[in-house]
Structure 1
Amino acid sequence: MKYGMVVITAGFSGLLSFSFLAVAIGSDYWYIIDVNRANLSDLEDLSSHSGLWRIREGKNATSWPIQSFFVDTSNKTEIEKHLINSHKVIVILLPLSLLLVVLGGICGLVSSLARNPSLLAGSASYFLFCSLFTLSGLGVYVSYCQQARELLEPDILASIHVSYGWSLGMACLSFSLEVTAGLLLMLAARMAHLMGHDHGVIIIAMA
């Protein structure tokens, strides 16, 4: 495999990772609640889908913002306070990860053009580090949804179907592509090191 192909593939992986995560953060299909229409047709309009910032409910997709930073928690239970804090962590970690991917892309471009093994290894490590932010955000989100579901009464749970949407899938793909970009840059660093070593051997032989 050639050096150029490796760094180009790493670049596309990083670009797709950014695109997928940006779409996921801005979309409203992280969590979907469908009311059982067979038994509760009168509650059909209560079906909803939600994102990180808002909930859309009913046929008309009425939007309700999800507030967590400016909520008075003095009259909330400990579980509710924990859920609010978890949401704060989610909406900080994932946008931060998006910003870090942009910076990582710049570092990766510079290091790949310079063909410097140390810079490439540093960029690779940076991408892998960024992926931890994305993974942490996804982990907290899944835990957040599970805890919120546990607050519902059993009879309510029996009348609805809950599932994760394509937005979460896009975020998971973004995480995978971040890791892929990091590993490819690590491979490029190794290839650049070997090319530099071979070049040095040729110079010594000619001398």
Structure 2
Amino acid sequence: MRVTFGCLVIAAGICGALSFAFLAASLGTEYWYIIEMNPVNSSDSEDISSHSGLWSVNEGGKMYADSIDSFTADYSKYSETELRMLNMHSAIVVVLPLSLVLLLFGGICGLVSSLARSPVLLTGTASYFFVCSLLTLCGVSLYIIYSYLAVAETERLVGPEGLAYIHTSFGWSLGLAWLSYSLELLSGILLLIAARMAKLQHSSPTMA
């Protein structure tokens, strides 16, 4: 079965649209990190588990804004590890939304380059999507490192016994961000293939 130029750019467009939707859903939900607490003396009806997003925390069904504002915090009150975490959080909440905005413009560039069937524009748009995927990868990777540092710092403060009845895990919001990253890469690859096909089509009449 021969793959046509139209099929390639449509597939790239679908992947790009899905990557935008998944990243937007990821940023707008609070299931990046899940904390389940099961103390021995806790009643079954008591809900003290929590899940958090990039800007808010849900504890027992109640939503709270993130207690640390990494942009306005007084850095003199924090330890070196806490300062590192604040800087990482600042980077995360800038890089991931930036990637989302760039994806929107990438979709417009992809539409224009596909209609023009320009190998140069298609290659440029593919490179643009690769940059977006790199930003998403950096943001997600920083969040994972940030989360592990937070757990390590908490364990240092309360001791291993303080975390004995606490189970932590990453949630589906983070999974959506990873899926968005994969689709951004796939969009770039499909656009590169489309650029190659358009270049061959343009050179065929000349060669003849």
TM-score, normalised with respect to structure 1: 0.92
Specify which of 143, 163, 167 is matched with residue 161 of structure 1.
167
AA at the equivalent of 1:201: M
Q: Distance in 1 between matches of 2:41 and 2:33?
A: 20
Q: CA deviation at 1:11?
A: 0.3
CA deviation after TM superposition for structure 1 residue 46, in Å:
2.6
Structure 2 counterpart of 1:176, from 158, 182, 193:
182
Aligned residues with identical type, % of pairs = 51
> Cα distance, 1:69 vs. partner?
1.1
Secondary structure of 1:45's aligned partner: coil
Could you tell me how far 1:142 is from its partner in structure 2? Answer: 0.3
Q: CA RMSD in A?
A: 1.4
Q: Distance in 2 between matches of 1:142 and 1:62?
A: 22
1:74 partner SS: helix
Any residues of structure 2 matched to 1:42-121 within 5 Å, and which?
Answer: 44-58=46-60, 60-66=61-67, 67-121=69-123
Give the structure 2 partner of residue 17 of structure 1: 19
Describe the superposition over 1:74-94 as per-residue Cα deviations: whole angstroms up to 9, x where unpaired.
111111111111100000000
For structure 2, list consecutive stretches of 5 or more residues without a partner in the other structure: none
- Matched to 1:198, the amino acid is S
1:199 Cα offset (Å): 2.6
- Distance in 1 of aligned mates of 2:166 and 2:41: 9
Distance 1:129 1:170 in 2: 18
Offset at residue 201 of structure 1 (A): 3.0
SS in 2 for 1:41: coil
Number of residue pairs matched?
A: 200
| Alpha-carbon shift at residue 40 of structure 1 (Å) | 4.2
- Structure 1 Cα separation of the partners of residues 38 and 196 of structure 2: 55
For 2:166 and 2:51, the matched residues in 1 are separated by: 13
Contact 1:40/1:159 (8 A) holds in 2: no
TM-score (norm 2): 0.92
Q: CA-to-partner distance for each residue in 1:121-143, whole Å, 9 max, x for gaps?
A: 11111101111000000110000
